[in-house]
Structure 1
Amino acid sequence: MDRITKQLVADLVKTQELKSNKESEQFEEFCNYTVLSNEYGKTFDLTNVSVGSGQDTGIDGIAIIVNGHLIEEVDEIDDLLANNGYLDATYLFIQAKTSSCFKTQEMHSFYFGINDFFSEESTLPRNREISKAIEISEQILNNASEFKGNPKVKSFFITTGIYNEEDKNVSSVRDKFKSDLKLLNIFDSIDVNILGSNEIGKLYRKTKNPISTTFNFSNKVTLQDIDGINQSYYGVLPFNEFKKILIGDNDNINNIFDDNVRDFQGINNPVNKSIAKTIEGENPDLFSVLNNGVAIVANTIKTSGNTFTIFDYQIVNGCQTSNVLYDHRHDQDIDKINIPLRLIVTDDEDVKSKITVSTNNQTAIKKEQLSAMSNFQKNLEHYYLSIEGEGKLYYERRSKQYNSDRSVIKRRIITVPIQIKSFSSIFSKNPHHVTSYFGNIVKKIGESGSSIFKSDHQYASYYMSGLCFYRLDSFFNSGMIDSKYRKVKFFILMLFPLLASEEELPPLNSQKKVEKYCIPIIDKLNNQDDAIKLFQDAIDIIDCSGIDIEDKQLIKSKSMTEKILASYNNKLKT
């Protein structure tokens, strides 16, 4: 491995707190991280895509992205189908070799493994991770009637050498693989990538840069000077320019939707149906007068005449509009669409929050709910940042907001989904729910029946649950806890505070009671010996419950939680 690639790999090992000491394994994780970061706009757990071990069918990394979400569990397919009304899938396959040359035998093995992945009669032994990915894939393919279009597949064969496009041996293996995959008649497109050290290095550096784009904004007016705002514009933007803001080079939608915990509401949402009807109608040019448009906030801007380059930008209003436009990006008349656009340039976080609240009036979330949610998220982020020392974590309320911050150890980032799942498992005692029905929890956020992100909740309870997740995840990664228990990790999280404290769960709106409960638990989490013992005690309780952790249906059921809690209560009596 050359010196530059070694330094890049070492950088990832540090920022992701990777535990492997083997150069080949580190390079595999480096390639998996780099490829997926460039294909997927949200923060992800690297362990969910790394499959390289024994019986890996020649594949080091697999990612399945459906409707813009990285799929971890089979049930998520049904949730997305119910919410969006369609499936749009992309498969990513990665193989990484530290050798400085492209060996056709290794390429054959990789490509054969991909073909075998989609084969109805497999000939290769498969490890647990490969089998899980295949199970997800089967669920996707079994819903072919709900496809927006056939799935896309992208493969990445990577070495530390220099790729010569004129190498006939390599190109013939590549072309044969592509033609074989076409014969399956499954895919809308097949993208075969062969990368050397220079190419993978450029992609890795790209992951560290804040998002930026350049577009032509000719039909605009400049707004008057406003305190807290550097520059602001209002106008209309044709879709062929707007898509430069919305869509990346890989034809994926950029993750640029700030303070939008609930995300895209799907085509079955009444507002989105109305947007789609306008686009599909006889007069799509009416879009600019029938739609409220999009509001964008950027940290900085460079202009040259009508050419605008914006940096570190987010769509703070127009998530639904943008997603519907993305879904129709290949329509024949899409270029007739003009999108009303407000562009605000500011680095003032308070101003950003006010803009988010004031411009969001098209969805079912009431302004007061949105304001409370936005302020809570921002304050929770600040609470995390106030913690120093061994328990230092970062709450990521906006996906990839810490990507360009070199001082942040990325494995210490707690994403919104992780926060929701860990908090709900501990304080609502419903780990079965977050494993299977996470989408339903998210849908209720901001509504009166929601039990998470309430304006009077104390932040220590959220931090404690995030730290609990981080510690357990670290023990899995280091091998101190058997990785087979990953599938019941949220059940383990539920048990940890019960074992670490004799106090009852506190009312979450009482600062005094929440801190009295959480701080001693946090202290135990920050002591490795205490933490590993308590996690192991939780695993012993799960083992003593008699449940089968390999039973996928049981893990999704309330009875699993009840049996584990009964096992915990039995332990208290002995």
Structure 2
Amino acid sequence: MKDQILHGFVEDFRQENNFGDEKEDVVFEHFVNHCLVSKQYPRDFDLGDLSTGGGNDIGFDGAAFIVNGNIIANEEEVDFLVEKNGSLDVSIILIQTKNSVKFKGDQVGTLIFGIKSFFNKKPAIPENDQISNLRKIKDKIYSKSIYFDSPPVLKIFFATRGEWKEPEPIQGRVDFEINEIRAKNIFSSILFDFYDAEKLKNIYRELKRKTIKEVHFSKHVALPEIAGVRQSFVGSISAKEYINLISDNEGGLQKSLFYDNVRDYQGSNPVNTEIENTIKSASKQAALCILNNGITIIAKKVEPVGEKMKLTDFQIVNGCQSSHVIFDNRAIFNDGTNIVIKVIETTDQDLANSVIKATNRQTEVKLEAFESLAPFHKDLEEFYRAKSKIISNPIHYERRSKQYEGSASIKKWQIVTLAGQIRAYTASQLAQPQSTHRYFGELLESNRSRMFVQGQNLEVYYLSSLLLNRIEHAFKRQKIRGFYKKFKYQILYIAFQILEKRRSNDKGYAYAVMAEEVADLKKAIQLFTDACGVIDSALRNTTLKPYDAARSKAFTEEITL
């Protein structure tokens, strides 16, 4: 790469995500997908779910469907989210990445043609399996259009490692072509943006660094001493100052600040509409601070300096809805409009969890939103930590969102999220690898009495996740053919069965011994190769196509040893 700083960032990303000797073009595509999607979606996601590059990719290298605040990878998740929420709020992100220093008009044209084909009823050009799956998701979403609060938002990004100088021929072509797409009247808005090396570097810096902001907060009082809290304050802040606090380097909403909020933005629901009406009212806007419940901020470090306050590594744990509405209406705020905020400095995770629970009890929240705060997960986190002392290249359970952010010793590829743990356990212990494509909250809800129950063996939770981690590692290192990616959880299911059979024949073959063997990738690869052999045999005995077999209960029964 010509830009050595960007090259360093991509190499850092390579190490963080365990891409090993993967080709630079491929890693750069993943890097761009990570940066651009993370800006729109601050929660954890699987990079593999975003990647669409390869033959017949119709010009996309990355894509994300964000439905009701969740990135979805399968059409079935749409039905669950409609049933759960009663409405659909959809953003569609499409990304083209070129590992070159130039922005070329023909490449932009290819992307736009691919987008037009994708949103036609029938494709004009061949589509690979990933694109075909995205088409199914798209068709499912639009079949549920009666549940739209407003049509989906379409965001298109074209990225290279060069410098964007807004060449008139390319920009003019984009404007003309996008007007044709806009004429379909199937989107509430369409954004087409170009990202060059400088913008990509800025995003990656922002994602990697701890958030540090300084705000004017003179109208506050210190709260009495509280166990576990170094200091805390309550007061009012100018709405304009608050908007600066929640804005990113590009002037957009810094969505990562709301990672710990148990509810994603709910769109134009009655409560948010009422907040917006208050802001837009000339007579009521000044009363926002007494009509609104206010904002709660938890920070690792708070430093009052005169009339200012410096916040380090902070999260807005309550006030996500208000913050979004305030930001969306930022152009109409008067200087005298204030909002109430509460600032808490603590590094006590249990206390932080208690604050999150207490400040969000006034609204209905999803079951999975509070799940990881339960005592079982604290025990599981400690078990993982104990294992990390004896297992090579260990995995770590992330009980609290982004708790390992900034850790020099723990890489991103070693982190197990709640969603990952649920899917690994569902596949291996509940014998449901065919169900793992469903939204993880649905899996938790339907298996609530069988999962995360106090007294269950923590070893099997750990081993399930370790197996899944090593399977993903093997795919990245191309030790397992890409064909089997759709059978990732079937490989996990079969591998666990093989280990259990060994244990039943050898009483000394304990879970701890299994974990040590699985941690060794060379030994694990042989296990996974054997599992792929079982899948091959089962595929020869079924008329199902591979994509359908991976979702079939009958196929699961066929691979049960």
TM-score (norm 1): 0.82
Contact 2:60 2:94 survives alignment (8 Å): yes
1:180 match: 180
Contact 1:488 1:549 in 2 (8 A): no
**1:71 is aligned to 2:72:** yes
Which residue of structure 2 aligns with residue 543 of structure 1? Answer: 536
Residues 216-235 of structure 1: matches in 2 within 5 Å? Answer: 217=217, 220-235=220-235
Query: 1:561 — aligned with what?
Result: 556
1:129 matched to 2:127? The reply is no
Residue 521 to residue 68, structure 1, CA distance change in 2 (3 Å):
same
Equivalent in the alignment of 1:508 = none
Aligned Cα root-mean-square deviation (Å):
3.8
Q: Return the alpha-carbon distance in structure 1 between the equivalents of residues 494 and 8 of structure 2.
A: 40
Q: Is the contact made by 2:275 and 2:325 (CA closer than 8 Å) also made in structure 1?
A: no
Structure 1 CA distance, aligned partners of 2:240 and 2:226? Answer: 30
Q: CA deviation at 1:49?
A: 1.0
Tell me which residue corresponds to 1:375.
375
Indicate how the Cα distance of structure 1 residues 455 and 329 shifts in structure 2: closer, same or farther if over 3 A, else same: farther
**SS of equivalent to 1:468:** helix
Give the structure 2 partner of residue 322 of structure 1. Answer: 320
Residue identity matched to 2:456:
H
- Match for residue 527 of structure 1 among 488, 495, 520: 520
Quote the offset at 1:462 in angstroms: 2.0
Residue 426 of structure 1 corresponds to which residue in structure 2?
428
Distance 1:358 1:92, change over 3 A: closer
Q: Deviations over 1:314-368 (max 9, x none)?
A: 345x4xx634874797589x9899876432111233443454455564467999x
Distance 1:405 1:15 in 2: 11
Tell whether the 8 Å contact from 1:153 to 1:189 is kept in structure 2 after alignment: yes
**Alpha carbons of structure 1 residues 329 and 80: separation in structure 2 relative to 1, 3 Å:** farther
CA displacement at 1:536 relative to structure 2: 2.6
Offset of 1:557 from its aligned partner? 5.1
Q: How far apart are the structure 2 equivalents of 1:365 and 1:151?
A: 23
SS at 2:449 equivalent: coil
Distance apart, 1:274 and its partner CA: 8.7
Aligned to 1:572: none
Report the equivalent of 1:191. 191
* 1:154 corresponds to 2:147: no
Which moved further from structure 2: 282-291 or 136-145? 282-291
Given that 2:67 and 2:89 are in contact with CA atoms closer than 8 Å, whether structure 1 keeps it comes out as yes
Match of 1:210 in 2: 210
One-letter amino acid matched to 1:119 = N
Q: Identify the residue that residue 168 of structure 1 maps to in structure 2.
A: 168
Q: Which one is further off, 476-485 or 335-344?
A: 335-344
Distance 1:495 1:174, change over 3 A: same
Q: Compute the displacement of 1:199 (Å).
A: 1.6
Answering whether residue 387 of structure 2 is matched by residue 394 of structure 1, we say no
Offset of 1:421 from its aligned partner? 0.9
State how 1:207-356 maps to structure 2 within 5 Å.
207-213=207-213, 217=217, 220-235=220-235, 249-251=251-253, 253-254=255-256, 256-258=258-260, 279=275, 295-304=296-305, 307-316=308-317, 318=318, 322-323=320-321, 326=324, 341-356=341-356
Q: Distance in 2 between matches of 1:366 and 1:204?
A: 30
- 2:237, 2:89 → 1: CA distance? 27
Structure-2 change in CA distance of 1:424 and 1:294 (3 Å): farther
Cα distance in 2 for partners of 1:416, 1:259 equals: 15
Partner SS for 1:25: helix
Q: Identify the match of residue 435 of structure 1 among 434, 437, 452.
A: 437
Aligned-pair CA distance for 1:551: 6.3
| Equivalence for 1:416 | 418
- Residue type of the alignment partner of 2:195: L
Secondary structure, aligned partner of 2:559: helix
In the alignment, what sits opposite 1:483?
482
Return the TM-score normalized by structure 2: 0.84
For 2:89, the equivalent position in structure 1 comes to: 88
One-letter code aligned to 2:559? I
Partner SS for 1:107: helix
Distance 1:542 1:29 in 2: 28
- Tell me the SS of whatever aligns to 2:36: helix
Structure 1 residue 418, shift from structure 2 partner: 0.5
Structure 1: runs of 5 or more not aligned: 506-512, 569-574
In 1: Cα distance, 2:454 partner to 2:187 partner: 46
Output aligned runs, 1:103-114, within 5 Å: 103-114=104-115
Q: Deviations over 1:190-244 (max 9, x none)?
A: 2111122112111121110234555555654321233432220124668766666
Residue 79 of structure 1 aligns to a residue whose secondary structure is helix
1:470 corresponds to which residue? 469
- Decide whether the 8 Å contact of 1:256 with 1:313 is kept in 2: no
SS at match of 2:28: helix
C-alpha contact (below 8 Å) 2:42/2:256 kept by paired residues: yes
Between the two proteins, the alignment pairs up a number of residues equal to 544
Q: Percent identity?
A: 29
CA spacing shift, 1:305–1:190, aligned 2, 3 Å: farther
| Structure-1 separation of matches of 2:269 and 2:90 | 22
| Offset, 1:292 | 6.5
Letter in 1 for 2:556: T
**For residues 149-170 of structure 1, what are the alpha-carbon distances to aligned partners after superposition, in whole Å with 9 as ceiling and x for unaligned?**
22112222122222213x2222
Which deviations, in whole Å up to 9, do the C-alpha atoms of 1:516-561 show, x marking residues without a partner?
Answer: 7421321231233432222232233333333456366665454443
- Are the aligned partners of 1:436 and 1:556 in contact in 2 as well (CA < 8 Å)? no
The residue aligned with 1:497 is 496
SS of aligned partner of 2:461: helix
Structure 2 CA distance for partners of 1:242 and 1:234, relative to 1, 3 Å:
same
Displacement of 1:415: 1.2
Change (3 A) 1:308 1:6: same
1:130-157 per-residue CA deviation (whole Å, 9 max, x = no partner) reads 1111211111122222112221122221
Unaligned runs of 5+ in 2: none
Residue of structure 2 in register with 1:12 after alignment:
13
